[in-house]
Amino acid sequence: MRAIAALAVLSVSAFALPASGQSGSSLGMVEGSVCPDNSHAIFHACALEAARTATPPSTPEGRPDFSGYWLRRAWAFESLEAHPVTPDDFGGPSAVVDPVDGLVPMQDWAVEQSRINAEQYLHHNAACILAGPAGTMYMTSRFQFIQDATHLVMVGEQLTTHPYRIIPLDGRPHIGDIPMWNGDPRGRWEGDTLVVETRNQNAKYMLDQRGRFITDEARIVERFTLIEDDTIHYQATFDDPNVYTRPFTIAFAFRRNVPEIWEEACFETNADPMRLYRANGYRVYPGITGEQAREMKAAWEAAQ
């Protein structure tokens, strides 16, 4: 027998369990780890110190072994800066560790452009679009890393339509010329740290849901350091003089030994709404080139 409808508009949940955005950050100390990860800044400072004496597990080639399943411990995709818990945000501390005030060093015109971006465009993840090299690392919560002597392959499960990154480690040159969503990465070893430099990005994604952005001339350098057997100290430095007053760096932890990752086909649920968005003139953030950024900056300054 069909149940009688019981429809009530409530100001609070009828049940006691947390709703989206109401539980706040669940970041915290992982048992047995040398560094807590409930604050990006505190984790970063601790990890820099821990790396001095770390003896990470090694590959047969004697390099730090990043193979395995990883969970990222970051809340940067809503905002790179500290942001409060709201019904629409999980909230979290700033991911920015340099500068130490935790603020993204944006040029004035870019602050205004970010606000416009957040109002005007759909976030790329609604369209299952890739998030760029660093964005992939903080947009995606679960990864499998596969490593051999010449490559590190990162396969992600969640968001941004099954992101994967293939990082050559054998010193080959950048591809060049072809702009790509996740760019053209090359890895090199600096001691026990894997340094990945990415060029040739199309920059057609926002850095966060506050509309922050880069141009296709941005240079992103990531650093992966095992500070203990199962913790990566991850850092990403964004350098784009078109948009920012200086380079800035975010940092957070990856923890190893989470369960396997599975298929998550982003298009399953999101493809139909996107057809309607587009049919009604809605657009996903299109990105801007360095040249466009300079023109927009000049126009903004002329209008002041």
Partner 1 sequence: MMAGKHMMAAMAAAGSILYATGSHAHHSVAVGFDMERRVTVTGNIVDMEWINPHARMFFEVEGENGDTQTWIISFTSANNLFRRGWRSTHLPVGATITVSGFPARDGSNELYAGETRLADGTILFGGNAPGER
Q: Which residues bind partner 1 (CB under 8 A)?
A: 2-15, 17-21, 23-27, 75, 78, 87-90, 115, 118-120, 122-123, 125-126, 141, 157-159, 209-210, 259, 262-266, 268-270, 272-273, 276-277, 280, 282
- Rounded least distance, CB 273 to partner 1, Å: 4
> Residue 286, SS3?
coil
Q: Please, which residue, 13 or 55, has the CB nearer to partner 1? A: 13
By C-beta, is 23 or 257 nearer to partner 1?
A: 23
In the bound state with partner 1, the residue whose beta carbon lies nearer, of 10 and 302, is 10
- Write down the least CB distance from residue 286 to partner 1, Å: 16
CA distances from 74 to 110, 113, 233 (A): 24, 25, 12
Closest by Cα among 24, 155, 159, 134 to 80: 134
Locate tokens 């090199």: which residue? 188
Least distance to partner 1 from the beta carbon of 72, Å? 10
Residue closer to partner 1 by CB (options 123, 199) is 123
Query: Smallest Cα–Cα separation from 77: which of 67, 86, 89?
Result: 89
Q: Which is nearer to partner 1, 27 or 54 (CB)?
A: 27
Distance of closest approach, residue 6 Cβ to partner 1, in angstroms = 4
Q: Please, what is the minimum distance in Å from the beta carbon of residue 129 to partner 1?
A: 12
Q: How far, in Å, are 90, 110, 111, 236 from residue 300 at the CA level?
A: 33, 9, 11, 29
- Cα 276 to Cα 116, 141, 159, 262, 282: the distances in Å are 22, 28, 20, 28, 8
